[in-house]
Amino acid sequence: MPRRKSLTTDQLAAAALAVVDRDGLAALTMRTVAQELNMGTMSLYRYVSDREQLERLVVELVLGGVDFTVPDLPTWQERVAALCERIRSAVQAHPAVVPLLLVHRHTSPGVRRSGEALLGIMAGAGFSGERRVIAFRALLAYLVGALQAEGLGPLSGPGTEALAALGEQYPYLAETAVTARNVSPQREFGEGLALVLRGLTP
């Protein structure tokens, strides 16, 4: 195979993300990314050392365009919600990437920037010590869980239709599923986040 010209970090990240989007996170290997780039697997080692580095490149590509500047909004809840919506907008098209946001929370500059911005808002609102830790983790749990639910089990998907048809055996599930078909992803995320934020107090 002829020697390939030098690759940029963005090209490597885009190839890795294409594999993840198409085939899932488990399919991300040095071999599959090399195939995506039409090069030999060993040649890829000239650019990255292992799968973990590929994962970090994927996270940075997905979060790279997010503006983590704290918005000038009246309340801390509105500021947090605006930042979370920016993250959702960047990640929602790549649901298989969501677990990497936690796996690489300590090594990814993008994840660290998001955490610093959110924690800065919470500190300004009066959260401190263990209360800040628990509130921040609750917020992360909602954000990550909502992104996974939207990607793996959307309200507009076949799972909702199947549940809506189970009226006799599971009446509450069925009734809720019938209503769920009319809830947009944007509304589901935004109103769910608002419920979480109302429950968080310094």
Domain parsing of the chain, residue ranges: 9-63, 76-199
| 3-state secondary structure (DSSP) of residue 142 | helix
pLDDT recorded at residue 153: 85
Angle between helix axes 51-63 and 9-23 (nearest 10 degrees) is 90
Joined together, the tokens standing for residue 62 give: 């997905």
pLDDT recorded at residue 168: 86
pLDDT recorded at residue 138: 97
Reported residue count of the chain is: 202
Domains 9-63 and 76-199 share a fold: no
Residue 83 has pLDDT above 90, yes or no: yes
Q: Write down the mean pLDDT value for the chain.
A: 93
pLDDT recorded at residue 14: 96
Q: Where are the alpha helices (DSSP H) in the chain?
A: 9-23, 30-36, 41-44, 51-63, 76-91, 98-103, 109-124, 129-152, 158-164, 171-180, 185-199
Mean pLDDT of 137-157: 92
Of the chain, the percentage scoring pLDDT greater than 70 comes to: 98
Residue 4 has pLDDT above 60, yes or no: no
Q: Which of 13-17, 77-81, 123-127, 182-186 comes out lowest in average pLDDT?
A: 182-186
CATH topology of domain 9-63: Arc Repressor Mutant, subunit A (1.10.10)
pLDDT band for 132, please (50, 70, 90 cuts): very high
CATH topology of domain 76-199: Tetracycline Repressor; domain 2 (1.10.357)
Residue 145 has pLDDT above 70, yes or no: yes
pLDDT band for 5, please (50, 70, 90 cuts): low
Residue 1 has pLDDT above 50, yes or no: no
Mean pLDDT of 165-180: 93
